[in-house]
């Protein structure tokens, strides 16, 4: 499962299955590249997870998923999308900044495996 390949503390398969209507999938020429899991409450959105298969990284899939997430949010009238990212995940932070996300907070010891802080980022739509 991609979740296990990308995250040290993956979501269970049944949790993902219950959220399928809020998952965007990236594929190219019939090959699965990755997904983005989103959620919304009223006019506030969250990007709960974004994952790209290790062998398909740095080929534009995460960029396309973020663009699709922004479109998804705008179509639903969301005011913003928020996410948490590991403080040590420089490539992801750079990608989010490229898309206009700004750091708005910091969560100490947010991640458990391994223990790491999170940066809270928000994109105003």
Give the pLDDT confidence of 24-74 residue by residue, as tens digits.
888 888 888 999 999 998 999 999 989 998 888 888 999 999 999 999 999
Q: Work out the average pLDDT over 75-102.
A: 96
Q: For this structure, is 27 an active site residue?
A: no
Exposed/middle/buried for residue 89 (C-beta within 10 Å: 0-12, 13-18, 19+): middle
The reply to whether 110 belongs to the active site is no
Instruction: For residue 12, give both structure tokens.
Output: 């269970």
Residues 6+ apart with CB under 8 A from 91: none
Token readout for 84 is 């948490």
Tally of domains within the chain: 1
Burial group, residue 46, by CB count within 10 angstroms (0-12, 13-18, 19+)? buried
Choose the catalytic residue: 35, 96, 101, 111.
96
User: 35, 70, 84, 101: which is the annotated catalytic residue?
Assistant: 84
For residue 97, give its domain range.
2-124
DSSP per position, 22-61: GEEEEEETTEEEEEEEEEEETTEEEEEEEEE-GGGTTSSH
CATH code: domain of residue 115: 3.40.630.30
For the ranges 11-15, 52-56, 96-100, 108-112, the lowest mean pLDDT is seen at: 11-15
pTM of the model as a whole = 0.80
């Amino acid at each position: 499962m991609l979740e296990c390949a990308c995250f040290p503390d993956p979501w269970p398969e049944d949790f993902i299955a219950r959220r399928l209507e809020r998952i965007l999938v990236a594929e190219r020429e019939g090959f699965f590249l990755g997904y983005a899991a989103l959620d919304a409450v009223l006019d506030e959105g969250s990007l709960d997870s974004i994952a790209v298969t290790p062998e398909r990284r740095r080929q534009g899939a995460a960029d396309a998923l973020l663009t699709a997430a922004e479109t998804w949010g705008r179509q639903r009238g969301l005011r913003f999308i928020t996410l948490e990212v590991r403080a040590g995940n420089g490539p992801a932070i750079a990608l989010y900044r490229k898309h206009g996300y700004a750091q708005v907070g910091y969560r100490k010891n947010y991640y458990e495996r391994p223990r790491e802080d999170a940066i809270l980022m928000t994109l105003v739509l």
